[in-house]
Amino acid sequence: MTYGTADFFGGVATRRANRVLSVVLTTQTAGLIFVLLVLPFVEGTLLARDAAIAALGGLGGVLGLLCFYRSLAIGPMSIAAPLSAVLAALVPLGTGLALGERPDAIAWVGIPLALVAIVLFSREPDDSKAAGANSRVIVLAVLAGIGFGGFFVALDKVSADAGLWPVVIGRAVSALAVGIVVIATKSPARLGRSAFPVALVCGVFDTLANVFILLANREGDLSTVAVVSSLYPAATVSLALVVLHEPFTRARQLAAAAALGAVTLIALGQGAEATDASPETKSRQIDVADRGAAVMGFDLKTTTHVFRENDFGGEQTVTADDPNDTIEIANIRSHLAAVAVRFGDGDFSDPGHIHGDDMPGLVELGAAGDALDVAYVEVDAGARIIYRSDRPDVVDAIHRWFAAQRRDHGDHASGG
């Protein structure tokens, strides 16, 4: 909702100023100031790797914004917003597939529906002038969606310990890049009184949306979060219809419905692996839950487990579903603190007892020695274990071990 609202205000500001560079520079600067004010209240550590990923994501995102705001300025928001959303959903979906995520069959219904939306949006009106304008809108919206999708991927690949730093870096790089272009092209940087406050509101909403995306990525798969986020045109189009009284022809209604239907179906197709598990898998998950309760000292049914891979290993986070359940939180922290010490010494007997000694990656992790670094940290309502290694074979073992954990824990585990 915040993305869609930000896009509406960005389009309005661009129409009033008729200067895309000035609007984007203002929104990015306002967003940077906003997130810097919030930064001290959110704990986080900036790593060089996270900074590089966030910087690349910031460049992709700002290129997407430049194309998107221009498309909103020259054509109907009811075309640009849904069309960009289709591409913003497909890029992370494709990335997730390449990284091993497998959506349910219903997601594959959404993909051809997305193509239908693109065809409907591409239908030329009878008026030749309008046809040319809409063609430019379509091209710009597609490029914008690709840039947004790349930004979604970047926010997913930073570590959970980074806090809000990735948003800060992304905003700083995008503001700097647009500032350089403004100077190089000698474009006016200042906005008039009618556009400036609207651009400020846009910048705050857009940055707030990025914060929400960052937090959501820590709880779920890239493909799920990015696709659900791509429903943002609902807010943009609604505001355009109510506030700007944009014409909404039958063809556009069908195209918008197809676009929103596509991202909805793709979203519904994510994370269905546990609920559609075979009877054998469900039986194993029940057995694992029973053994886990005895070993871990807390109940899978009242806790949430997140196993999140990254380039140097991964992070295992366990939190109590009830943040006021101090007993469960204490049990989680006690268990994770103890096993982190044993894991650091190469003792992986606890997961062996729960999942079986033939668990993928378990033997390799037990033999990793000094190549595996294990750290324990407390988080709100629970705790986290961070696994790091410079050896590709150990990192691969961590990833396979995490995937096995998610399969065996079923609905009580997630990752990405």
**Of 393, 97, 391, residue with least CA distance to 226:** 97
**Of 81, 26, 76, residue with least CA distance to 263:** 81
- Indicate whether 15 and 123 sit together in one domain: yes
Within-domain flag for 11 = yes
Percentage with pLDDT > 70 across the chain: 82
Least confident of 67-76, 365-374, 377-386: 67-76
Enter the pTM of the model.
0.59
Of 225, 248, 268, the last residue of a domain is: 268
Quote the CA–CA distance of 155 and 44 in Å, as a whole number.
14
Residue 296 is predicted with a pLDDT of 72
Within-domain flag for 273 = no
- Indicate whether 157 and 303 sit together in one domain: no
Residue 408 is predicted with a pLDDT of 76
How many structural domains comprise the chain? 2
Residue 198 is predicted with a pLDDT of 93
Least confident of 82-86, 222-226, 227-231: 222-226
Quote the CA–CA distance of 21 and 7 in Å, as a whole number.
15
- Indicate whether 210 and 294 sit together in one domain: no
Residue 190 is predicted with a pLDDT of 85
Within-domain flag for 56 = yes
The more confident residue out of 349 and 227 is 349
pLDDT digits (tens, 9 = 90+) for 322-381: 989 999 999 999 999 999 999 999 998 878 777 777 888 888 999 999 999 999 999 999
Of 219, 247, 268, the last residue of a domain is: 268
Within-domain flag for 222 = yes
Least confident of 18-22, 49-53, 104-108, 235-239: 104-108
Residue 27 is predicted with a pLDDT of 92
Within-domain flag for 274 = no
What is the band of 48 on the pLDDT scale with cuts at 50, 70, 90?
Answer: confident
- Indicate whether 325 and 295 sit together in one domain: yes
Q: Could you give the dihedral angle defined by the CA atoms of residues 282, 288, 291 and 292, in that order, rounded to the nearest 10 degrees? A: -120
Structural domain harbouring 348 = 279-415
Within-domain flag for 217 = yes
The more confident residue out of 274 and 28 is 28
Percentage with pLDDT > 90 across the chain: 28
Please check the confidence at residue 314 and state whether its pLDDT lies above 80: yes
Whether residue 113 contacts residue 262, with contact meaning beta carbons closer than 8 Å, is answered with yes
- Indicate whether 343 and 306 sit together in one domain: yes
What is the band of 223 on the pLDDT scale with cuts at 50, 70, 90?
Answer: low
Copy the structure tokens of residue 52: 């590089």
- Mean pLDDT (the chain, rounded): 81
Within-domain flag for 331 = yes
Residue 49 is predicted with a pLDDT of 82
Residue 315 is predicted with a pLDDT of 92
- Indicate whether 225 and 318 sit together in one domain: no
Mean per-residue pLDDT, 42-50? 81
- Indicate whether 110 and 249 sit together in one domain: yes
Residue 244 is predicted with a pLDDT of 81
- Indicate whether 185 and 306 sit together in one domain: no
- Indicate whether 121 and 263 sit together in one domain: yes
- Indicate whether 92 and 209 sit together in one domain: yes
What is the band of 70 on the pLDDT scale with cuts at 50, 70, 90?
Answer: confident
- Indicate whether 299 and 234 sit together in one domain: no
Of 235, 268, 301, the last residue of a domain is: 268
Please check the confidence at residue 81 and state whether its pLDDT lies above 60: yes
Within-domain flag for 395 = yes
- Indicate whether 351 and 264 sit together in one domain: no
What is the band of 128 on the pLDDT scale with cuts at 50, 70, 90?
Answer: very low
The more confident residue out of 227 and 283 is 227
